[in-house]
Structure 1
Amino acid sequence: MKRKPLGWPDYMEAKPSKGGARYYWNAPSWARKRGCPIKSEALGTEYGAAKARCDTFLNPLFDSWRTGGASDAIVQKRAAVGSFDWVIATYKATGKYTKRPARTRASYDRALASVADYRLTDGRRFGSLSVKSVTPSVVERLYEKLKVDSSGKPRHRSALLSVSVCKLAWSAANRAHETVVASANPFVGLEIEYDPKKNRAATQQQLQIFVAAADADGSGSLGTAAMIAYYWLPREEDIFQRFAWTDYRPAEFPNHVLVWHHKNRKSKKVPVPLFDGEDGASLWPEMVARLDAVAKTGTLVVMRDSPDPRKKIHLPWTTGGQNPMRYVQGEVRRICRAAGLPDTITFTSFRHGGHTDGADAGLTDAQMRALGGHKTTAALLRYAKETDKQQQVGARKRLEARTKKGNLSE
């Protein structure tokens, strides 16, 4: 990168890759020679998230080491021990924070800053308060302030995130310093006034309409991506950024597809059989036919449909920009509208639709977890929407059970 934009963080570097620029933080050579304990870190492909990580954690941590000591946790000395700022610093030094994706860390940073930088009536920052002063009643009053912006408009979702992340920070600080931070978490038990909007689950008919519209538009790759989300249930990041041709019928599993579930499985892929083990019937005939017919234009299965005018090659959909998935979502919205699908249908709807289709088919929780890569049954409740068909199947099973017992249902 020849010219760095204004505000470029110290010690952050950009390196070109097939998927666009990737960002890294590296301590200067003189610091490494002196035994700087702060390790180099890959920051991902999103400039905004990489900058936030450098500005709010890595560079302050490096400056603390450079000016005052040689400890990884020296950043905590920048805040008074026992203050809420110190609680936040303690949390950010733990794996509970550092191991989260860059985009998540950036979101958490904003949420924590909205609390720490909140000005009390006497002018003090909330972050300067002693943990002994952060009581449930204080948190309740803070939440009442956070859930309304400066213009008076409600901001329930961001207030909820702020409180939720503060809850994590408090728990992490308690585990690290139980003699300073009380085990009674003041951010727990708060009455929240936010009812999140549920993603609409797309039906199989809506999936077919979208795929046909995407093919007619010349954006067949987005139709393929929607089918992958519906049938195999990976998240959109896994489809557009990770699912490669080497995952489809690989040499070690020629009759399987390796489905990414990065968030739940920590980079592990789940082998999903493509054919029945007894009669050899295709279990996913729509997907197998689709992928066998797709041209391999790159390493990833889902690539842009037209070559880049300048590079003359097909690029991933997530190439470039601070939020590359936003471009994908915009294209999906455009195709949905052209196809006459409701505005409530988003790309996420196809994954939710696949879960709901599985529930309608009468799959058990264990079978749903195996196909969707979920660790717990509770996670299924966010995806498999309740439908009349599920109630009908349940009622039919109860009817059959009563009839077998000689009841008067017939």
Structure 2
Amino acid sequence: MKENPLKGMGLSSTAAKGNRETSRAEYNLYRETTRKLGFQSMATAVALCFECCQRVWDAFGFGDPDGVERRGIEWAGYRPGEEISLAQSKTGNPVTLPLSIVVTGEDGKPETVSLYPELEEELARSRTMVTADAEMIVLEERSGKKYRERRMSSIHRQICVEAGLPKDMTFTGFRHGDHGDRRRG
């Protein structure tokens, strides 16, 4: 076996501190708490991060550290039950994520299976709460505009406290979530 060419370079493969993995149970509790507090947009943003592995700035449409403004995820790229179009701002690559697949059911007939039911639930709730001409999916309830980073962070902390979630839980952690257990509850 060849020796690892990166050995001795001081590189680590562990996630940086602050990016702790979020469990599905924490994700579900967070979404439930956001709705209770009246922040449906935060439930939708967290679903985009957790289910679609989106970066925080992509879900919210924040400006990047390089100064290039990102638009976020738009309603025009969402077709309920079919697909959602995303842009990986870090690479610039467009991604179209299927939201369902057709499989053969036990009776031998085709059956449509939803791949991301929690995401679709949050998107449906958000769609009813924004104006028909809203372009971006995640908009702050009080202004109808994009979140500012400080406001998003403040609301995130409020949600975590209300839900009794760990203090070290970051929004970025949803992107690194534990997707292994899809059971509800």
Q: Normalising by the residue count of structure 2, what TM-score does the alignment of the two structures yield?
A: 0.72
Q: d(CA) in 2 for partners of 1:256 and 1:220? A: 21
Give the equivalent residue in structure 2 for 1:399.
none
Deviation at residue 345 of structure 1 after TM alignment = 0.7
Whether 1:277 and 2:113 are equivalent positions in the alignment is: no
The SS at the match of 2:90 is: helix
Q: d(CA) in 1 for partners of 2:30 and 2:147? A: 18
Give the equivalent residue in structure 2 for 1:331.
155
Q: d(CA) in 2 for partners of 1:190 and 1:293? A: 48
Deviation at residue 211 of structure 1 after TM alignment = 1.0
Cα RMSD for the two superposed structures: 2.3
Q: d(CA) in 1 for partners of 2:9 and 2:98? A: 45
Q: Which runs of 5+ in 1 are unaligned?
A: 1-188, 309-313, 319-324, 362-410
Q: d(CA) in 1 for partners of 2:159 and 2:56? A: 17
The residue type equivalent to 1:273 in the other structure is: P
Give the equivalent residue in structure 1 for 2:176.
352
Whether 1:245 and 2:42 are equivalent positions in the alignment is: no
Give the equivalent residue in structure 1 for 2:21.
201
The SS at the match of 1:281 is: strand
Give the equivalent residue in structure 1 for 2:37.
217
Deviation at residue 235 of structure 1 after TM alignment = 0.5
Structure with more of its chain in helix, by fraction? 1
Q: d(CA) in 1 for partners of 2:19 and 2:37? A: 25
Q: d(CA) in 2 for partners of 1:190 and 1:232? A: 32
Deviations 1:314-371 (A, max 9, x none): 11113xxxxxx23312220121011100111111111110xx31xx37xxxxxxxxxx
Deviations 1:369-399 (A, max 9, x none): xxxxxxxxxxxxxxxxxxxxxxxxxxxxxxx
Runs of 4+ in 1 over 3 A off after TM superposition: 189-192
The SS at the match of 1:216 is: helix
Deviations 1:268-305 (A, max 9, x none): 32111111133321111222222123223321101111
- Relative contact order (alpha carbons < 8 A, sep ≥ 6): 1 or 2 greater? 2
Q: d(CA) in 2 for partners of 1:216 and 1:230? A: 20
The residue type equivalent to 1:281 in the other structure is: V
Give the equivalent residue in structure 1 for 2:139.
303
Whether 1:229 and 2:49 are equivalent positions in the alignment is: yes
Deviations 1:219-270 (A, max 9, x none): 11111111111111111111111101011119xxx82111221103x1x321
Aligned length: 150
Give the equivalent residue in structure 2 for 1:111.
none
Q: d(CA) in 2 for partners of 1:199 and 1:225? A: 17
Deviations 1:15-60 (A, max 9, x none): xxxxxxxxxxxxxxxxxxxxxxxxxxxxxxxxxxxxxxxxxxxxxx
Q: d(CA) in 2 for partners of 1:276 and 1:199? A: 31
Q: d(CA) in 2 for partners of 1:190 and 1:204? A: 35
* C-alpha distance 304-255 of structure 1, shift in aligned 2 (>3 A): same
Deviation at residue 198 of structure 1 after TM alignment = 5.2
| Structure of greater Rg | 1
The residue type equivalent to 1:274 in the other structure is: L
The residue type equivalent to 1:238 in the other structure is: D
Give the equivalent residue in structure 2 for 1:343.
167
